[in-house]
Structure 1
Amino acid sequence: MSDECVRRQPILERIHGRTVADPYRWLENDGTAECARWLAGQEQLLVRHTPASQTRTRAAFRALLSRSTERAGAVVSAPVVRGRRQFFMRQRIGQEMPVLVAAVEGVGAEAGKILLDPVALDPSGATSLSAWRPSWTGRLLAFQTAAGGAEAPHLRVLDVAKGRVVDGPLALGRPSAVAWLPDDSGFYYVTGSPAEPRRVRLHRIGNDPTRDPVVWETGMRHLSVSLGPEGRWLVVSAAPGAQTGNELRLADLWTTAACGRDPENPELVTVHDGTSQGSSALVKAGPRGLLYAVTDAEAPRGRVCVVDPAVPRSSAWTTVVEPGPDAVLSACTALTDPAGGQVRLLVSTVGNGVPRLALHDVTGRLLTDIPTPGSGPGTISGLSTPPGDADRVWFRYTDFVTPSTVHRFDLAEGRCLPEEGSASGTTAIRRSPLVSRRQEPVVRQFTYPSEDGTPVGLYVIAPPGSHGPRPTLLTAYGGFGASAAPAYSPTIAAWVRAGGIYAVAGVRGGGEQGTTWHAAGSGPNKPHAFADFAAAARRLVDQGLTTPRQLAVKGASHSGLMVAVAITRNPELYAAAVCSDAVTDMVRYPLFGLGAWWAEEFGTPHEPDQLDALLGYSPYHNVRPGIHYPAVLLTSPRIDPRVGAAHMRKFTAALQHATGSGKPVLLRTEDGVGHGPRTATRQVDLQSDVLAFCAEHTGLVL
């Protein structure tokens, strides 16, 4: 594509003896008139290179996306129970954003009261509800809102019964955990921006937040705080970056009070330090005085430990549950058996994509396996247990063909049931309608060898009865230990219903096989993730499911990096690519958004050997003139506080200058959104644009 009016700066930097070119550095500053003109030109280019056939396909995909969303019904979270109230998020068909609802137990979700509606707060849809936490009595609710895609929310406190804000705003700098005191008098929370020290503070309701005392502070970038319903164990976790090991500190507030000290001055003792080994731990307070931990220290697939309150350091923890050799621990919660008052551990694991729930006693003895809602690969998430001696737990279940559904496990009944007309009185929180099995997509699970022979998992979702090569969308995440978990998506459903195949690869760098799998695709091993992705593309072709002329790749955030590397590493494998909100300049990524937090994931350009590794795959630096790149659509918010929108602008300019294929390289930008949530209308707009672009360049005809 011609870029005659796009200036290339002759910037050549010497970094650790390497000469590094950066011709589009001027696009890092979106406040200049030149950058504004360039962005306006990109909007015109997007219109000029959208043919009438793609416009018609876009309209068809809008209809398919709407039907796929309607099929899912109202999306509802598992309830958080406090006192006699249940709090949950709900988004009905036609609602632009989820609303926060409170329902009195025994009344039912449909009779619940809407506490917070982001659209009511801001009809433009630019304000999102980023976090919320009810007090232990359910009388008060701390909630955090952010506007315009920003990730620096303000916290306020709502009187639930009156529906009135009674405290705040508290400026946070970043979204914060909230740990309520048991008497509703205040809470612990975290302040500090990415450029400032992170501090745990104690806020008393009604006090001036600028005078909130600092309980603990650190130079580490991730900081969270929790406190159980009995108000005894204060837990503070600090980590130097995203998905790194953490340092865990514990304070006994009962001892603090007995010594005549205020809760703003607890004695925090380090019980676990995995920052050098990359191991993480979380300590939780259960019923009947139980203290237990979930950790991957010396256990790459996770383990559950019982903690002795008298000797809480990690070296004294007793391991009681470990997943099987092919499974990964995903969650654990404690319940109380109503028959005899014994404490039970409900443990959630995943093996080969299949979720499992099992009940253990506190010594780790397996009592029973609990039948889960699905029969194959799926996802169980959001385990939610009432405080105290609870005998129930709620969770969400989904898979590629089943929309998210809330289920409840009751110890007395010994089984999982969807929350619809249950004896608990919490009627119809969520039950998804099912279409005919003959109409459902076919989900297949493969294992394929990567370029070095490592076996990697692959999901293929195809139309029923499909044969021969078809237009195919391939994606993977492959970073920060996050798994490519099976989940219902209107985007997947729409593409498959249109006749395409959708494939999801569980490449190294994710969490599909625990922390060793993450380590195998992060830091100096990051290229393994890209090799796994390319091998997945070849596997789809070799299996006769698609061809390079019919294959598109798509991804956002770290998944967008996977796409950007894919098209610069192996452009011949793909007909089209959609890259969204991605890191693409691996030399300057620490300067944008939260990039300084990601050294453990990518490596740092400040070290010579790591700079070489980063330059080896940095998409922006690996664009070569004259290469026949596939058709590429890049999408980005105008301002991205997490990644930095400069990455998308610079990569777009480099590809447009270099490509020799004659295929379009286009940039789609949005105002008023950030790295995360959009209104339902904007989400449909974005996904219909993405799917129509992929269909146009892979030959999918609707």
Structure 2
Amino acid sequence: MQSHTGETPQLPNTPVITVANTYHGVEVVDKYQWLENADDPKVVQWSKAQSDYTRWVLDNIPVREVIAKRLHELYNQSSPQYYQFQYQDGMLFALKDQPPLDQPLLIKMDSPHDLSTEQVILDLNQLDPTGLTSIDFYVVSPDARLVAVSLSKGGAEDGDVHIYDVATGNKLSDIIPRVNGPTAGGDVAWTADGFGFYYTRYPRDSERPVEDIRFYQQVYFHRLGTSTEEDTYAIGKEFPRIAEIEFETSPDATHILAIVANGDGGEYAHFLLGSSKRWVQITRFSDLINKAKFGPDNALYFLSNKNTSNGKILHLHPGQTDLSYASTIVTESDAVIQSFHPTATKIYVRELVGGPSQIRIIDLADGSHEFVPLMPVSSVWDIVTLGEDKILFKNSNYLEPPICFTYEPSNQKPVRSALHFTSPADFSDCEVLREYAISKDGTRVPMNIIRRKGTTLNGKNPTILTGYGGYGISQVPGYDRVLSIWLDNGGVYAEANIRGGGEFGEDWHKAGNLTSKQNVFDDFAACAQYLIDTGYTNPAKLAIKGGSNGGLLVSAVMTQHPELFRAVVCHKGVHDMLRVELDPNGEFNITEFGTVKNPDHFRALYAYSPYHNVVDGTYYPDVLLTADENDGRVNPSNSRKMTARLQAATSSKGHVLLRMSSGSGHGMGDALSQRIALQADTYAFIFDRLGVEFTQPQQ
């Protein structure tokens, strides 16, 4: 660590209070279980002392100030970004990030090709100048007259729904409490007349014990202009305790599909509300249907993983509710189906080929197909249908900023819209290489390596390796202006497509969950070893970072292979895999991670749980752990306990730092200023630990 100035805060004394928990006859000692009680004044005092020390260390890293300055330039000199599109009644709606504003604007426009028609419906920065109020989701009424918006504060994701008039931006008197929550989320589905909507409802007041208020999500109906106390129950009493509900509405809003997830493990059931005004179950968890869409004629389309890893698309005629009558219209291929979008005569299928995206257009009449031209080695997202056979989509890769295109088959090629992003980051002399590591069991594991052209493989390049490896979530090519700070200063950046993700289908996901989770860590360690063996870097110049499930990833790999890394950054990670299911979010994750109640699951969890595999006297890398007191997805006690355990165990003279904050939750809805502060701390820590000098880029 470089020299510091000013009075030095001290790390707090951390008492050891031994507690023994027994699982299937195995006694597990926990020295820091007392740090789980966030309301204990001793825990509050301990956390503050840790944070004060971390703040002093980070603020006294000389490069932090110039990194923060560059981050502000990268954001403030960038153009606005538009995302989360909805199209209703000939109008396009979106959220708009406009630095230096902390929170996005909710806007509408007549056309993605004409920004002069843009109109702001809701400006959170005026509603709450502190920047702590965020939009969880929004849903536009079928006639585009009103919009339902879930708003939450301080990153907690506990959202109440408010109704705004699209034309005037005025707020109606209706407020529906407890519609959104962390993990299970929330949603709204308007009725065809636009005078009411179905919504996801969490238990209120004393309806259930306090430990159950984040569970038992159900569906209720609200009529505009009435008290929410008069809202009527629709469906959900029979749903699992860990149900996560979202809606899909037919184009004419006469049919609503409730999509019910059984926690986070990828099992879904579907319930249809149609002309009969009764909810009818169409699919069950065992059917392995994970996505559903209505066609323009109210036909239902399903993405199925039944007897397939990469997915197939089924079609069910309008009015039919028996899944056995569904026909397969898109068969499994080498590409993994991520999503699909039926239009008048086509179906657009977004697919992954090991990470990069493609859009396949299939003719519903004869089954013929063609592909939409895209950027090379790129990703596609934010697809929305614009009527007839026209779509809007966003496309970018690691080196080129996102551009929104419109496409219709008659034009043969995408048309660039006015919704394109510009940034002062310069990646013109960079390149992306696709390379493969061999995991412990012989599996080929790809990773994308971003570097400046002409990088010498001399084993001395400062390198960051990142990954995720869970929930079937794929790491896809994406533009990150902030990455230019690292590349401008000689850094190499590698993103691993490890098992647990969805890059190669559901089999790739299942090979990295439940009792197979160790494969994820073996894959990531193999990627780190590859970067060392091929001359990209060496352990003294290698950092790993990850967040949430990616935080579990880097924490577990650090405890298993501490000799491979110089620095570890773990954002809001899960570290105690034996007690995580006692938290509300942890229970949702049982279908992905497993449960200590199952002896096989327990053995797997105990074998890799980072907190339980820290070994006294080991020389661990320097570690920066971040957490937020408002995080409803990962209990910050994970980071408190892991910090205490590492500080007591490591033989290194380096740092184990805990950056605690409040007001930003798990990261959803973070204010821009909060994001910049966290990024400045992260890069300052890595620059300092890896001995990287900062060079201001030429303007």
The TM-score with structure 2 as length reference comes to 0.91
Q: Distance in 2 between matches of 1:363 and 1:549?
A: 59
Matched AA of 2:404: V
Match of 1:182 among 192, 206, 217: 192
Specify the code of the residue in structure 1 equivalent to 2:333.
G
C-alpha distance in structure 2 between counterparts of 1:132 and 1:692, whole Å: 36
Q: Say whether 1:694 aligns with 2:695.
A: no
1:17 to 9, 14, 25: 25
* Counterparts in 2 of 1:308 and 1:69: CA distance versus 1, 3 Å: same
SS of the equivalent of 1:146 reads: strand
**What is the CA distance between 1:457 and its match in structure 2?**
1.1
- Find the aligned partners of 2:570 and 2:112 in 1 and give their Cα distance: 47
Give yes or no for contact 2:265–2:471 (8 Å, CA) kept in 1. Answer: yes
Is 2:546 aligned against 1:555? yes
Between 470-479 and 162-171, the greater mean CA deviation after superposition = 162-171
Amino acid at match of 1:19: E
How many equivalent residue pairs? 667
Taking the aligned partners of 1:307 and 1:479, their CA distance within structure 2 comes to 31
What is residue 495 of structure 1 aligned with on the other side?
486
Is residue 142 of structure 2 the alignment partner of residue 136 of structure 1?
yes
Q: Secondary structure at the match of 1:20?
A: strand
The more displaced of 505-514 and 358-367 is: 358-367
Once residues 158 and 51 of structure 1 are traced to their aligned partners in structure 2, the CA distance between those partners, rounded to angstroms, is 42
Which residue in the other structure is 2:108 paired with?
102
Partners of 1:641 and 1:47 in 2: how far apart?
Answer: 24
Tell me how far 1:696 sits from its aligned partner: 1.0
Aligned to 2:673: 681
Rounded Cα–Cα distance in structure 2 between residues aligned with 1:164 and 1:297: 47
CA distance in 2, matches of 1:309, 1:441: 50
Aligned to 1:30: 38
Show the counterpart of 2:281: 270
CA contact (8 A) 1:554 1:577 kept: yes
Q: CA deviation at 1:616?
A: 0.4
Within 5 Å, give how 1:477-496 maps onto structure 2: 477-496=468-487
Root mean square deviation of aligned Cα: 2.1
1:252 match: 274
**Cross-structure match for 1:304:** 313
Question: Matched residues in 2 for 1:415 and 1:313: separation?
Answer: 39
Instruction: Name the aligned partner's letter for residue 410 of structure 1.
Output: E
The answer to whether the 8 Å contact 2:578/2:605 transfers is yes
Q: 1:434 to 1:51 in 2, by over 3 A?
A: closer
Q: What pairs with 1:117-516 in structure 2 (closer than 5 Å)?
A: 117-171=123-177, 172-174=179-181, 175-192=185-202, 195-217=214-236, 218-220=238-240, 221-253=243-275, 256=276, 266-273=277-284, 275-276=285-286, 279-325=288-334, 327-336=335-344, 343-363=345-365, 365-372=367-374, 374-376=375-377, 378-386=378-386, 389-419=387-417, 428-432=418-422, 439-467=428-456, 468-469=458-459, 470-516=461-507
Residues 626-678 of structure 1 deviation map (CA, whole Å, 9 limit, x = unaligned): 10000000111123111111111111111111110111100111121100232
Aligned letter for 2:266? Answer: T
| Structure 2 residue aligned with 1:45 | 53
Q: Which amino acid aligns with 1:396?
A: K
The Cα offsets for residues 105-142 of structure 1, whole Å up to 9 and x where unpaired, read as 49932441211122211111111111101111110000
Distance 2:426 2:620 in 1: 41
Structure 2: how far apart are the matches of 1:686 and 1:434? Answer: 20
User: Which residue type is aligned with residue 466 of structure 1?
Assistant: T
| Contact in 1 for aligned 2:147/2:166 (Cα 8 Å) | yes
Q: Is the CA contact (8 Å cut-off) linking 1:358 and 1:369 kept in structure 2?
A: yes
8 Å CA contact 2:373, 2:413 repeated in 1: yes
- The residue aligned with 1:422 is none
Q: For residue 69 of structure 1, report the CA deviation from its aligned partner.
A: 3.4
Distance 1:662 1:106 in 2: 55
* Farther off after superposition, 524-533 or 26-35: 26-35
Q: Distance in 2 between matches of 1:345 and 1:492?
A: 35
Segment of structure 1 superposing worse, 617-626 or 399-408: 399-408
Give, in whole Å, the separation in 1 of the partners of 2:402 and 2:43: 42
Deviation at 1:609, TM superposition (A): 2.2
Q: Structure 1 residue 584 and structure 2 residue 575: aligned?
A: yes
- Counterpart Cα distance in 1 of 2:369 and 2:12: 71
Whether the aligned pair in 1 keeps the contact of 2:81 and 2:97 (CA below 8 Å) is yes
- 2:631 is aligned, of 640, 643, 649, to 640
Alpha-carbon distance change, 431 to 3 in structure 1, aligned in 2, over 3 angstroms = closer
2:103 aligned counterpart, secondary structure: coil
Contact 2:546/2:553, CA 8 A, preserved across alignment: yes
- Mark the CA change 1:224 to 1:107 in structure 2 (over 3 Å): closer, same or farther: closer
Closer, same or farther: CA 431–34 of 1 in aligned 2, 3 Å:
closer
Letter in 2 for 1:23: K
TM-score when normalising by structure 1? 0.91
**d(CA) in 2 for partners of 1:272, 1:34:** 50
3-state SS, counterpart of residue 414 of structure 2: strand
Q: Identify the match of residue 539 of structure 1 among 530, 537, 541.
A: 530
Aligned equivalents of 1:411, 1:363: Cα separation in 2: 14
Q: Distance in 2 between matches of 1:106 and 1:270?
A: 38
Q: Which residue of 2 aligns with 1:259?
A: none
Question: 1: CA distance between counterparts of 2:351 and 2:79?
Answer: 27
Residues 335-369 of structure 1 deviation map (CA, whole Å, 9 limit, x = unaligned):
23xxxxxx111222121333222221225612422
**Would you say the 8 A contact 1:407–1:416 is kept in 2?**
yes
Q: Indicate the larger mover: 131-140 or 188-197.
A: 188-197
Aligned to 1:262: none
Q: Following the alignment from structure 1 to structure 2, what is the Cα–Cα distance between the partners of residues 668 and 514?
A: 36
User: What letter is aligned with 1:203?
Assistant: H
Deviations 1:506-563 (A, max 9, x none): 1100111111111000001011001001001001001100100100000111000001
The letter for the 1-side match of 2:331 is E
In structure 2, how many angstroms separate the alpha carbons of the residues matched to 1:335 and 1:610?
44
Task: Structure 1 unaligned segments of length 5 or more: list them.
Answer: 257-265, 337-342, 420-427
AA in 2 matched with 1:682: Q
TM-superposition CA deviations, 1:308-350 (whole Å, max 9, x none):
235432222111113532x1112211223xxxxxx11122212
Q: Distance in 1 between matches of 2:518 and 2:311?
A: 25
Instruction: Determine if the alignment matches structure 1 residue 86 to structure 2 residue 75.
Output: no
1:173-200 residue CA offsets vs partner (Å, 9 max, x unmatched): 5232211112111111111155442211
Q: 1:106 to 1:69 in 2, by over 3 A?
A: closer
Higher mean Cα deviation, 12-21 or 524-533? Answer: 12-21
Contact 1:49 1:664 (8 Å CA) reproduced: no
Deviation at 1:87, TM superposition (A): 0.9
Quote the offset at 1:168 in angstroms: 2.2
For the residue of structure 2 that corresponds to 1:490, the secondary structure is: coil
Structure 2 match to 1:57: 63
407-416 vs 550-559, greater mean Cα deviation: 407-416
Contact 1:248/1:281, CA 8 A, preserved across alignment: no
Any idea what SS the aligned residue of 1:69 has? helix
Distance 1:334 1:173, change over 3 A: closer
Whole-Å separation in 2 of the counterparts to 1:240 and 1:582: 23
Could you say what secondary structure the match of 1:301 adopts? coil
8 Å CA contact 2:356–2:477 kept in 1: the answer is: no
| Percentage identity across paired residues of the two chains | 29
Query: Structure 1 CA distance, aligned partners of 2:676 and 2:572?
Result: 17
Judge which range, 23-32 or 510-519, deviates more. 23-32
